[in-house]
Amino acid sequence: MKLSSLCVHAGNNPDETGARQIPIHQSAAFIFKSAEHAANVFSLKEVGYIYSRLTNPTISALQERMAAVEGGVGAVACSSGHAAQLTAFHNLLQSGDEFIAAKKLYGGSINQFKNSFKQFGWNVEFVDVENLEEIQQAITPKTKFIFVESLSNPEGAVADIKAISKVAHDNGIPLLVDNTIATAALTRPIENGADIIINSTTKFLTGNGSAVGGIVIDSGNFDWGQSNKFPLLTKADPSYHGLKFHEACGKMAFTFRGIAVGLRDLGAVMAPMNAFLTMLGLETLPLRMEKHCSNALKVAKFLESHKKVDWVKYPGLESSPYNNLAQEYLNNGYGAVFTFGIKGGDDAGKKLVDSCKLISHVANVGDSRTLIIHPSTTTHSQLSDNEKQLAGASEDVVRISIGIEDEKDIIADLEQALRKI
């Protein structure tokens, strides 16, 4: 099926009740058919529902849908985007291991990687992923993967997935891609060489700001057994009596371990209600992204021509250094999150944010409503000045997430707010 059909039908398999919409299985646990059945599902000899920290029919439906939408073989739904990153990394990293990440990332991810993950002995090396030689030089025998955002938050930098994945694969490691800002409606990184996809479902996938969640999608393409670099997937797991996930589960090894070990021990599971709300949102994803992106291009052009705006960073503009990559990787639009700089710096940016009426001052993106924030003092406030600059969140930066309202109303609100500076 095509994307718009997958977004509606994938994973929505009617049960014995015949319910057309996926039910919310709001149950902590599930009845076993027999003692033998219980033993088999606990030992992974049989697939089944045990306890909602591990498996749940509503969450499983979302996982099936997202695997289909991104073009993968399996998925693990988690309680948030950060929980999805933790669960994915937990499959690959042990104490003392390293990974490479792009410098242009969401501020919360930068903080998670460089501070909290250090408590596990996981070490990050931030690089300019637009410089392939810099990536290569950063790879060591302890490097387990490369992590990038397909469309970075907040700057809108477009990652050259084909080129970066080649560097990763030439060194026997996978490429992990956060596809939150672009979504599969604009780009499917697996088709260009990515191995693992991570999404914050909180954003455009749900689309209305009602549910927090995250999801990890496995392409099924990476051969975890090609070397000894990934013992968590290839060596005997003591908690399952020596089961080897790569040997037992094949292309689904990453997904099965993410659930059987990641969700079991980290406990970062998505709530069934949130899975249901995300399924509802996915039904209209292609339609909404078309409107989001159409509005964003018009708003970006308006801001670029305004005398009080110093610059606009949006890959859909011809002035963007990422316009060529956007033409290559992004279909049906250039995203709906971008940044711009107000003449007058920090004070002017704050004044603009405070003066908006229709546009909401919210620390989120991907809502049906247009949202605005000053990243330097909020989402990226825990970074150093240099890190803010590298991430595209310096003092003069304002981030905007364009909604699906009438574009004339969005522009009118920005116009009246700009007049107050």
- List, for residues 66-80, the tens digit of each pLDDT value: 999 999 999 999 999
**pTM, full prediction:** 0.95
What is the location of CATH 3.40.640.10 in the chain? 10-281
Task: Please tell me the predicted confidence (pLDDT) of residue 357.
Answer: 97
What is the location of CATH 3.90.1150.10 in the chain? 286-419
Q: Which residues of 286-297 are buried (b: 16+ CB within 10 A; e: fewer)?
A: bebbebbbbbbb
Residue 420 burial by Cβ neighbours in a 10 Å radius (0-12, 13-18, 19+): exposed
For tokens 């990226």, name the residue: 380
* Maximum pairwise Cα distance, the chain: 73
173: which DSSP letter? Answer: -
Nearest Cα to 149, choosing from 125, 171, 129, 135? 129
The rounded distance, in Å, linking the Cα atoms of 77 and 90 is 14
The size of the chain, in residues, is: 421
Q: Could you report the per-residue pLDDT of 353-394, keeping only the tens digit for each?
A: 999 999 999 999 999 999 999 887 777 677 777 877 766 777
Task: Please tell me the predicted confidence (pLDDT) of residue 341.
Answer: 92
CA distances 355 to 35, 378, 416, Å, are 64, 17, 8
Bridge-partner residues for 340, per DSSP?
312, 398
The rounded distance, in Å, linking the Cα atoms of 269 and 272 is 9
Task: Please tell me the predicted confidence (pLDDT) of residue 388.
Answer: 74
Q: pLDDT under 50 in the chain at which residues?
A: none
Q: Sign (positive/negative) of CA torsion 290, 295, 298, 301?
A: negative
Fold that domain 286-419 belongs to in CATH: Aspartate Aminotransferase, domain 1 (3.90.1150)
Fold that domain 10-281 belongs to in CATH: Aspartate Aminotransferase; domain 2 (3.40.640)
Bridging pattern class, strands 98-102 and 143-149: parallel
CA distances 70 to 4, 48, 256, 259, 289, Å, are 12, 24, 18, 19, 15
